[in-house]
Amino acid sequence: MAVLKKKKDKALPAMNTSALPDIVFMLLFFFMVATVMREVDLKVAVNKPQATEIQKLERKSLVTYIYAGAPSKKYQDKFGKSPRIQLNDSFATLDDVQAFVISERETKSEEERPLMTMSIKADRSVKMGLISDIKLQLRKAQALKINYSSLQPKNVDALYSSEN
Amino acid sequence: MARNKRAIPEINAGSMADIAFLLLIFYLVTTTMDTDKGINRKLPPFDEELIQDPPPIKERNIFTVLVNSNDQLLVEDEYLEIGQLREKAMEFIDNNGDRSCDYCKGYGMSISSDNPDKAVISLQNDRGTSYGMYVKVQNELIAAYEDLRDEYAESEYGRSYREMDSEEDREIIKEIKTSYPQKISEAEPLNIGG
């Protein structure tokens, strides 16, 4: 008892924090590896469609994104609510798609060009008219590998329900 | 000489944690965890000469899927729910009307496809169809092929097709793919309602 009391009187010894940098570095490396830099500032609202037969996109550097959807709240008074195309950081029209694909292709090396994939990230409510027009432009630009960006549904049955 | 013998003072590592924290927070903020996934498709090349002379295909070998601007399905002149589409497509592909496909389990009906190699799925949508519905239909049609390939792989190799490794099982996958070749043809969209 006497011994215990003596210990209590003493101030708490400083906690050993020498392992703290190690822990932080571990976390840091995890995030560095897992991170994907947000390439563009999304100006259109994209609620991706759901699908089960989806494949992972390999080689991020070979993927070019085309966004389509209604302009997000911030831009609605300027651009309206009807679905629009976004390429890189700005709104675009259909005529810009071909030039965009060609300029993107220029940035890739010769042997990688056939592997280039166009990922269409469109909102599920966008009408197919717009998507078909984009697809026609892609065909004209000889960008034939495409990917319909979709989400794996949490509940597969939801896929068959009438809403969304 | 005397100077060299002096021990180098230890570097103060106390601020290391601070630096690491700073970097950590930077990555935490910029990170987006969403993995990019989607349905891979290949578009037909744009060639005006090709359009003028389509190869003749027998009516029974075409499985028509129409989607209207209200996202309703018309499959082989019959109204269908999206949940029934996969089964219908599988029945059509696996029908084996000319008895040339020995691994097919279809009913061999004379109004349905000859064999999986000849069976073509034709998909046409309206310009007013929603993209979500279009992806769902695509998904079901691809799933029909994947399910058939799965069944085939299960009976031939005792393994699931979907779980095969694209590198190791390249030959097997190729063989399965030629047994059930994916033939989905898309027509130019209609513009009726919408």
**Burial annotation B42-56 (CB, 10 A radius, 16+ → b, else e):** ebeebeeeeeeeeee
Q: What is the mean pLDDT of residues A128-156?
A: 87
- Residue range A28-82, pLDDT digits in tens: 888 878 776 666 778 888 888 888 888 888 777 788 888 998 888 888 888 888 8
Provide the pLDDT for residue B194.
46
Measured between alpha carbons, how far is A51 from A149 in angstroms, rounded to an integer?
Answer: 9
Provide the pLDDT for residue A62.
84
Q: Domain for residue B48, yes or no?
A: no
Closest chain B CA to residue A63: B36
- Tokens for B1, please give them: 């000489």
By three-state DSSP, how is residue B133 classified?
helix
Query: Do the beta carbons of residue B132 and residue B73 sit within 8 Å?
Result: no
Confidence label for A164 from pLDDT (cuts 50, 70 and 90):
very low
Measured between alpha carbons, how far is A94 from A76 in angstroms, rounded to an integer?
Answer: 19
Q: What is the mean pLDDT of residues B6-24?
A: 80
Measured between alpha carbons, how far is A35 from A32 in angstroms, rounded to an integer?
Answer: 5
Provide the pLDDT for residue B73.
87
Instruction: State the CB neighbour count (10 A cutoff) for residue A151.
Output: 15
- Tokens for A53, please give them: 């037969």
Q: What is the mean pLDDT of residues B114-139?
A: 88
ipTM above 0.90, yes or no: no
By three-state DSSP, how is residue B59 classified?
helix
Closest chain A CA to residue B22: A28
Q: What is the CATH number of domain A60-148?
A: 3.30.420.270
Q: Are A52 and B34 in contact (CB < 8 Å)? A: no
Q: Domain for residue B120, yes or no?
A: yes
Confidence label for B5 from pLDDT (cuts 50, 70 and 90):
low
Measured between alpha carbons, how far is B184 from A126 in angstroms, rounded to an integer?
Answer: 22
Confidence label for B18 from pLDDT (cuts 50, 70 and 90):
confident
* Beta bridge partners of residue B190, listed in sequence order: B126
Provide the pLDDT for residue A33.
80
- Count CA atoms within 13 Å of residue B82 on its CB side: 24
Tell whether the model's pLDDT for residue B43 goes beyond 70: yes
Rg (alpha carbons) of chain B, rounded to whole number: 27
Q: Domain for residue B45, yes or no?
A: no
Nearest to B120 by CA among B145, B101, B100: B145
Q: Domain for residue B97, yes or no?
A: yes
Q: What is the pTM of this model?
A: 0.77
% chain A with pLDDT above 70: 89
Our count of domains for chain B comes to: 1
- Residue range A90-99, pLDDT digits in tens: 888 888 888 8
Best probe of the B interface among A30, A128, A130, by most B CBs < 10 A, is A128
Q: Cα-flanking dihedrals φ and ψ of residue A119, to 5°? A: -100, 120
Measured between alpha carbons, how far is A120 from B171 in angstroms, rounded to an integer?
Answer: 31
* B28 contact residues in A (CB cutoff 8 A): 31
Query: Do the beta carbons of residue B57 and residue B114 sit within 8 Å?
Result: no
By three-state DSSP, how is residue A55 classified?
strand
Measured between alpha carbons, how far is B162 from A5 in angstroms, rounded to an integer?
Answer: 67
- Tokens for B30, please give them: 């910029």
Phi-psi map region of A99: left, alpha, beta (phi>0 left; psi -120 to 50 alpha): alpha
Find the domain containing B172 and state its range.
55-186
Q: Domain for residue B46, yes or no?
A: no
Among A135-139, B130-134, B167-171, the range scoring the smallest mean pLDDT is B167-171
Provide the pLDDT for residue B50.
59
Provide the pLDDT for residue B154.
87
Please list, in sequence order, all residues whose beta carbon lies within 8 angstroms of the beta carbon of residue B20, skipping any fewer than 6 positions away.
A21, A24, A25, A28
Q: Are B16 and A21 in contact (CB < 8 Å)? A: yes
Q: Are B44 and A124 in contact (CB < 8 Å)? A: no
- Nearest chain A CA: its distance from B67 CA (Å): 11
Q: Domain for residue B12, yes or no?
A: no
Among A62-66, A151-155, B46-50, B102-106, the range scoring the smallest mean pLDDT is B46-50
Q: What is the mean pLDDT of residues B83-98?
A: 85
Tell whether the model's pLDDT for residue B189 goes beyond 70: yes
Task: Using alpha carbons only, give the angle B144, B148, B168 rounded to the nearest 5 degrees.
Answer: 115
Provide the pLDDT for residue B186.
83
Tell whether the model's pLDDT for residue B108 goes beyond 50: yes
Tell whether the model's pLDDT for residue B78 goes beyond 70: yes
Q: Are A136 and B46 in contact (CB < 8 Å)? A: yes
Q: Domain for residue B27, yes or no?
A: no
Closest chain A CA to residue B146: A53
* Beta bridge partners of residue A50, listed in sequence order: A151
Q: What is the mean pLDDT of residues A109-135?
A: 88
Q: Domain for residue B169, yes or no?
A: yes
Question: Where do the structural domains in chain A lie, given as residue ranges?
Answer: 60-148
Which comes out higher in pLDDT, residue B61 or B49?
A: B61
At A161, the amino acid letter reads S
Q: Are B36 and A50 in contact (CB < 8 Å)? A: no
